[in-house]
Amino acid sequence: MSTDSHAADMLLAACAAKTRHAHRRMAYARLNADLTIQQVSANFAAMAPAAPQPQADVLHQPLSDVLWEFVGADEALHDVWARRAPFFRLEHVNREQRDGSLHYLTFSVYRLEPDSGLDGLLLLVEDDTDYGRLHHQLVQDRNELRLVQGQLAAANKELTRIDRMKSLFLSMAAHDLRTPLSAIQGYAEMLLLGIAEPGSPKAFQYLDIIQQQSARLNQLIDDIVDLDLIEQGKLTLNLTPCDINPLLQEASSAYKFQLERRSITVHYNLAPEPITIWGDAEKMLRVFYNLVGNAVKYMASQGQITLRSQQQDGQAIIEVEDTGPGMTAEQLDNLFILYYRSEDVAKSPVKGSGLGLFIVKTMVEAHQGQVQVTSQPGQGSKFTLRLPLHQSDSGEILLQ
């Protein structure tokens, strides 16, 4: 290096230091009015790895050939040259270094002061990596925060909805509990007063109503208790090997009087062998009460209910099919949502709480099973449950 150029380097370094009191790693270069590079600091190539040229070749090259970030910046740089702009800056430009690491650089271009003894533009390259990474992290954190905020808002909205539904449910439940209770009370009183002769068809009809209404009360209370357990996360299963077939029979026989009165026939298409799952018999019975109860409840008279059970590929497959009104695609989408009752059903005299299917799904899933529904308006509905069959320790399916 000649003494002259060494002096110029020293001078440029002094200018750079004076221009920016930066403590960061810094490299610099001097540009001519035609935006070619005239002079660079020794660390220039290391800090701002340039286009393919080795460092020596950087000299006398147009800046935008060496640093692609300056492509299209000529006009802005001419403005700095003509002192129409105080500086030109590209901040936090990320660049891959030769070792593959990502660095953030800030490029600033100033017009050299006339009193500096040097003419031209001063290009400063500052290593912003700490700041850049922080900035990058901040942007990432802010995006995550926005996402979480969005999720929180959605969760809040859902909570408000559930809260409103719960209040609605409570007022409905109070009404629903009172209605069967007053029917029971009224018909029991009539029997006590001898309005219907004991053993007469009328007396039988009154007793039938009392029985039905008590069953409804029971069902509602059971559903409310289950819901409370589910909501508190306290649903516990009393697991034993349990055969599905007798449970299906028991569930349907609970509706014996209603089935007879409304000329609904139940067909049993049950596997001849026990269909044994590792389950809570009482909870599964409640699942079947709900499914058969819906089939009975939503069906006009003169329908058919088919109960099927079979085992296939290590699974118990249980179907509850009815020839009832069926459901629309929209109803099917919402079916298992807590408190959901379809609009037309809610307006109809058929009473309900919208708890049943939510409980069914929760119970079945707690047994590692799944519920599926197929239905079309006017074509009946079919609920299919799949539950893992009980297996012995040796992995064999127990048939008992």
Nearer to Mg ion, 245 or 294 (CB): 294
By the rule CB under 6 A, 180 interacts with ligand ADP: no
By the rule CB under 6 A, 340 interacts with ligand ADP: yes
By the rule CB under 6 A, 303 interacts with ligand ADP: no
Of the candidates 178, 306, 143, 318, the residue with the CA atom closest to the CA atom of residue 244: 318
Please identify, among the stretches 44-52, 70-78, 103-111, 319-327, the one whose residues bind ligand ADP according to the rule CB under 6 A.
319-327
Instruction: Please report how many Cα atoms fall inside a 13 Å half-sphere around the Cα of residue 80, on the Cβ side.
Output: 24
By the rule CB under 5 A, 213 interacts with Mg ion: no
By the rule CB under 5 A, 354 interacts with Mg ion: no
The option from ligand ADP, Mg ion, none interacting with 327 (CB < 5 to 8 A, set by class) reads ligand ADP
Task: Return the H-helix or E-strand segment holding 146.
Answer: helix 129-192
Residue for token digits 């069953």? 215
Binding mask 344-373 for ligand ADP (x = CB under 6 A): -x------xxxxxxx---------------
Integer CA distances (angstroms), 224 to 278, 325, 358, in order: 25, 26, 11
Nearer to Mg ion, 324 or 356 (CB): 356
Nearer to ligand ADP, 109 or 296 (CB): 296
User: Distance (Å, rounded) from C-alpha 273 to C-alpha 246?
Assistant: 11
Among 335, 363, 364, 371, binds ligand ADP (CB under 6 A): 335
Among 120, 274, 324, 356, binds Mg ion (CB under 5 A): 356
Three-state secondary structure of 263-293: CCEEEEECCCCCCEEEECHHHHHHHHHHHHH
Beta strands 276-279 and 102-111 are: unpaired
Nearer to ligand ADP, 30 or 341 (CB): 341
> What type of residue is 294?
N
Of the candidates 251, 271, 380, the residue with the CA atom closest to the CA atom of residue 327: 380
Positions in the binding site for ligand ADP (CB under 6 A): 290, 294-295, 298, 322, 324-325, 327, 331, 335, 340-342, 345, 352-358, 381
| Residues near Mg ion, by CB under 5 A | 294, 356
